[in-house]
Chain A
Amino acid sequence: MPSHAADLRIGLAADVSSLDPHFVNIAPNIALSSHLFEALTSVDANGKLQPGLAVSWKAIDPTTWEFKLRRGVKFHDGSELTADDVLFSLDRPATLTNSPGPFTSYTKPIVAKEAVDRYTVRLKTATPYGPLPLDLNSIFIVSKKAVQNASADDFNSGKAIVGTGPFKFGGFKRGEAIELVKNPQYWGEKPAWDKVTFRILTSDAPRLAALLAGDVDAIENIPTADIARLKANPKFTLAQRASWRTLFWHLDQVRDITPDVTDKAGKPLAKNPLKDVRVRQALSKAINREALTERTLEGLATPAANIVSPGILGHAEKLKPEAYDPEGAKKLLAAAGYPDGFRLTLHGPNNRYINDEQVVQTVAQLLTRVGIDAKVETLPLSAYFGKARAGEYSVALLGWGSLAGDFALRSLVGTVNPDTGWGSWNWGKYSNAKVDQLVAASLAATEPAQREKLAEEAATVGLKDYAVIPLYHQYASWAVKKGIRYTPRIDEFTFAWQFRPE
């Protein structure tokens, strides 16, 4: 049936909460908005920066960026994209006062903006800031005319959803389904589908059932337990790749008395052993990453030495995953003054990452083998994140996805400082002036090659000091009906135009 061949139905693992592309900065909303709207820059399946609505950009001086807009791009209502729409869209995130997850992180570096002409925009930053083009891939460009007086209702009804993306708004059944139709005027490569339906299937088993029954053609986020079975099923193909999500341990690096570490009798230790780099290294050596990824994660991860995945700016190839070395770990512990080890509780979520609870348990067993009495405590994400951020844990598991190493370092191991905004996810309160300085230099580099070099150096210095203990890069998996091919994305997004009939 040729008419059906052009329809695509996809089962999504998370609900889309708002159709306003600037309202909440969460992955499900961004994924949907990406079909309807575009940004000045875009990111390809491997995480590399590409032209979007801007065909080119350059720093004309250390604090001024100039973006040349693509000419002749039409909004869904037929009007032409101009610099005016771009300026309006970059201003808008800061005007949405009720947004729980504002996009202002990406617009904040901009202190002034001007339209030089209809197709040229200049943006000024207070200090030299190299990642601006990358940041701007997160700000969707909306039609000023359609959005400037629009309410939340106008977005829900589709009236205000006037973008330039490859798809137009088709319909929204809240909590159930979203329909998109092809944008025939799209400037870029046209998607293969006339109509795309996203079904919201937040629970694992029903999502898989919908695929098996043929109610949807593809699903994201396959339940881990079913991956092997799907692989053996000739009716489906799997699209898998290492994603940007890297898992690592945060370690309390400041407090002398840290809540989860005691001696083996349960008495507090005089000094926090995690502050000693030899102890951190010993923990890292005690972890058998090969066994962890092959067995506990059923092959759905690859051992990590970095905090950003291979291929992402700032990934230091020179760093190699720590070799499993329990004897070396014991020696280091003895050298640090803990020949008999100590007692420790590992904390982690139990519903966030692939087999996360088992991962924490496996690591606890590995630590026990080198003399550290490791206990395990896992919590649902909703409770875990709040407590971890409040500093209630000594050793805590976190997974992080980032499109640049310096971004990740800034949030994860940069010295905590409300004035700079650094270290907002630095649960261990790690602080290293050298790392900070290199990250700052990397962020200030407007020359991409230079930035890359500095970001790698910053990562190398921080990780040699065990600012965090990297574990592995997690895989992302999609299941697709035979006859359709999906190019898996490093950022885990599910984009309808990347599905192609075979």
Chain B
Amino acid sequence: MSNEYGLRKRSHRKWVAGLTLMLSLMLVLSGCGVGKDDKGGSNGEGGKITLKMMHLWPEGSSAQQSKLVTQIIDQYQKDHPNVVIQQEVLENEQYKNKLKVLSASNELPDIGITWAAGFMEPYVKGGLFTPMDDLLNGSKLKDKFVPGTTEAYALNGKTYALPIELNISPIYYNKAIFQKYNLKVPTTFDEFKQVVKTLADHGVAPIALGNKDRWTGSLWYMYLADRIAGNETLKKAIDGSGSFDDPGLIQAASEIQTLVDMNAFNKGFNGLSNDEGKSEFMNDKAAMYLMGTWELPNFTTNPAIPQAFKDQIGFFKFPMVAGGKGNVDSWVGGPGVGLFVSENSKVKEEAKTFVEYFVVKWGEQSVTQAGVIPATKVDTSKGNLPKLYVDLLNELNQASSITLFADVQMKPNAAQVHLNMIQALFGKAVTPQQFADQHKAAIQKEN
């Protein structure tokens, strides 16, 4: 009896102990979620300040940029022993998604990356980014930016982020392939089509394109629209003061379909991501690739890519279309990403100081170390810069206009319609007229 009683008692105790353990575990677990300060910037032990920074240069796909960020952070921490900077790194698409989720729960990192104009607008209107005008007019950054770059980050007279990249989009081409088929760099769209035809006839993919990402195809449409209808017409159509019904813009859409019919793009482009499309170009399988200058490291400084390949890459400007209103020095591009500081950050001032430092250092080092064009002015006399890089920098200085990428300019909803329509246009699922109609409807709805 006593034995049985003892057993029962012991098992009873065991159950209670188990329960207590489970409950305390629950408390600990839930405590992890709620209690921890996810907003960062807590004044930790020993008066150390932690700054959280979220960015989109993973070591794998953006090796040079990633190295540079870490270098700048290390240096800053050395100079400011009371500051600790935590990096959170995500890949582009994931970054955009996480930013939205964090915004909805009001838990943005102290410092993060944003795109300009329409992309930034909801965040600014939601009061999540802090104005940076004091930095912009401060001693370290005044007049340091290339004119026109910070404007893209301004809303209602205040600047909400500081750009760190400036991009234009040339057509990169493989000189070896061009030589093999006796091709010259085209200056008019007719010559361009001739090049396309020759390459397609020989079974070489003329243009590398991964249009699953859709903004990649948008670049082609934007250039054709710019060359045929002129950049003012395009700009007005996008901001709603003009219309996508403009015959020039419709012609641009139908030229896209002409190119598709000519097999100008690699096979299956609508199902391939930009990276997959790009690999056609990087593997010498496609002759041309239209992309922003953020790709420059791959053609200049990136040690992972063979020098022989880098040497055979050149670029040309998007050709002129006969009878078009565009200017050959007009580019599609604009400031790439910029740094914002969260309005709700507990260490706003420290975060701003770091951003200022970061922009200055990035401007000095990104050229030589990462091969990226910063938004701050570049002194080309210093250092031994790759020729491709210097040439593009010169083009940038001569640019007559830079039209910001359509999906960044437009508000989120219209941008999605634009991107979907781009894929439909390339896939010949819509006519140029339907393409225009859908744009009109979407832009009217947002305004």
Do A and B pair up? The answer is no
